[in-house]
Amino acid sequence: SHLERVAIDLGDRSYSILIGEQLLDAASTWADLPKASAALIVTNDTVGPIYAERLQAALAPLYKQVHTVALPDGESHKDWQTLNLIFDELLGKGADRKTVLFALGGGVVGDMTGFAAACYMRGVPFVQVPTTLLAQVDSSVGGKTAINHPIGKNMIGAFYQPQRVVCDLDTLQTLPQREMSAGLAEVIKYGPIADMQFLDWIDANLDALLARDPKALAHAVKRSCEIKAWVVGQDEREGGIRAILNFGHTFGHAIEAGLGFGEWLHGEAVGCGMVMASHLSQRLGLVDEAFVSRFTALIERAGLPIVGPKLGADVYLHHMRVDKKAEAGEIKFVLIDKPGTAIVRGAPDALVAQVIDGCCE
Ligand code: NAD
Ligand code: ZN
């Protein structure tokens, strides 16, 4: 079956993203990784029972020892206590500083495994094996790793790049539909910020994507990864252009924080947040009404909410001001400046409040 390869160019930390079917079991998927005597598969108690045995079997010829640790599933477990389970396993098995970690799961497992790899003996190699659409198109690529703190999401972490990202499209077949839609939000995101042709393609192939057609998924994951690789290759640590990847995330963060994290999925909040950001772009004269209505219709068709929770504009503004991305209390919005290009800028509170009131019920 067809294999796509996307390169991420970061000098001596460059790596490949492999995208295709049946990658988990293929020996070639795992060839030429750093040599080591041991590997640790980090997964969770939902994904592990479905896929860990296959990965274990594929890695067995390469390492003397292959261990697996299954973390409790859920964003609420993306914390110190759960991170420690990885270190307990590594130290308990006497793992040395060449041990390779494999993150088998969604973004939560990927972020935690990456952070554990950055910290264990001051850094061991790790491989991302993302099994959600969101993780395949976004979180597994680019080297952001973190755990949550009770005071804020992803507040404790490191930039630490994987050795390889392996996107086995077959794993998406077992994903709950709500998670598929949430992942599609991050796929759709890449269109208006970087490539309107891709947005046209998503529009034309949305039904195939929702039905998890492997060819459609292959293209969506590949193009998303190409755009993310292009952005991260220019700005690994988000000093500038990488911020455009936060399109929809400022409003989305306010929805997640305002409702209490976990009420809406992250991708759902981002979908609705992108609708709000499009409206704000229109109010500022950057895009026309036709763009906003077409974009909103696509978000809705993807199974994502287009109307925000009625928390009140003040609550939204409060959460947007304390977001990690705000600078000295000034809210930075990623806006669409002619479709296919994003800009990062502020906007008057009164205008933002009007957009929120118009988008919520
Ligand atoms: P997740 O990891 O919680 O996975 C969603 C659910 O799907 C979980 O219950 C999981 O067990 C289950 N699951 C995963 N793969 C499955 C499969 N193949 N079949 C059946 N069930 C499966 O959520 P997510 O959306 O993948 O990731 C969200 C996390 O990613 C958040 O913590 C977020 O902060 C982080 N994130 C990080 C970055 C980054 O750049 N590092 C970017 C975006 C998001
Ligand atoms: Zn996101």
pLDDT at 326 over 80: no
- How far is Cα 171 from Cα 59, in angstroms, rounded to an integer? 18
Q: Is 142 in the pocket of ligand 1 (CB under 6 A)?
A: yes
- How far is Cα 186 from Cα 196, in angstroms, rounded to an integer? 15
- How far is Cα 27 from Cα 163, in angstroms, rounded to an integer? 16
Q: What is the pLDDT of residue 316?
A: 96
Q: What is the pLDDT of residue 1?
A: 65
pLDDT at 122 over 70: yes
- How far is Cα 54 from Cα 93, in angstroms, rounded to an integer? 21
Greatest extent of the chain over all pairs of C-alpha atoms, in Å: 62
Q: Where are the beta strands (DSSP E) in the chain?
A: 3-8, 15-20, 38-44, 65-71, 100-105, 126-130, 144-149, 152-159, 164-168, 333-336, 342-345
- How far is Cα 102 from Cα 128, in angstroms, rounded to an integer? 6
Atom of ligand 1 nearest to the CA of 44: 11
Centre of ligand 1 from the C-alpha of residue 351, in Å: 34
Closest CA to 101 of 109, 112, 113: 113
Reported ipTM: the value is 0.99
Condensed to tens digits (0 to 9), the pLDDT of residues 244-298 reads 999 999 999 999 999 988 899 999 999 999 999 999 999 999 999 999 999 999 9
pLDDT at 186 over 70: yes
Q: Is 134 in the pocket of ligand 1 (CB under 6 A)?
A: yes
Helix (H) or strand (E) holding 313: helix 313-321
Averaged confidence pLDDT in the chain:
96
Tell me, yes or no, if 238 is annotated catalytic. Answer: yes
Q: Is 75 in the pocket of ligand 1 (CB under 6 A)?
A: yes
Atom of ligand 1 nearest to the CA of 265: 25
Query: Which of these is catalytic: 78, 189, 222, 249?
Result: 249
Q: What is the pLDDT of residue 151?
A: 83
Condensed to tens digits (0 to 9), the pLDDT of residues 126-149 reads 999 999 999 999 999 999 999 999
Which backbone phi and psi does 344 adopt, to 5 degrees? -115, 120
Q: Is 167 in the pocket of ligand 1 (CB under 6 A)?
A: no
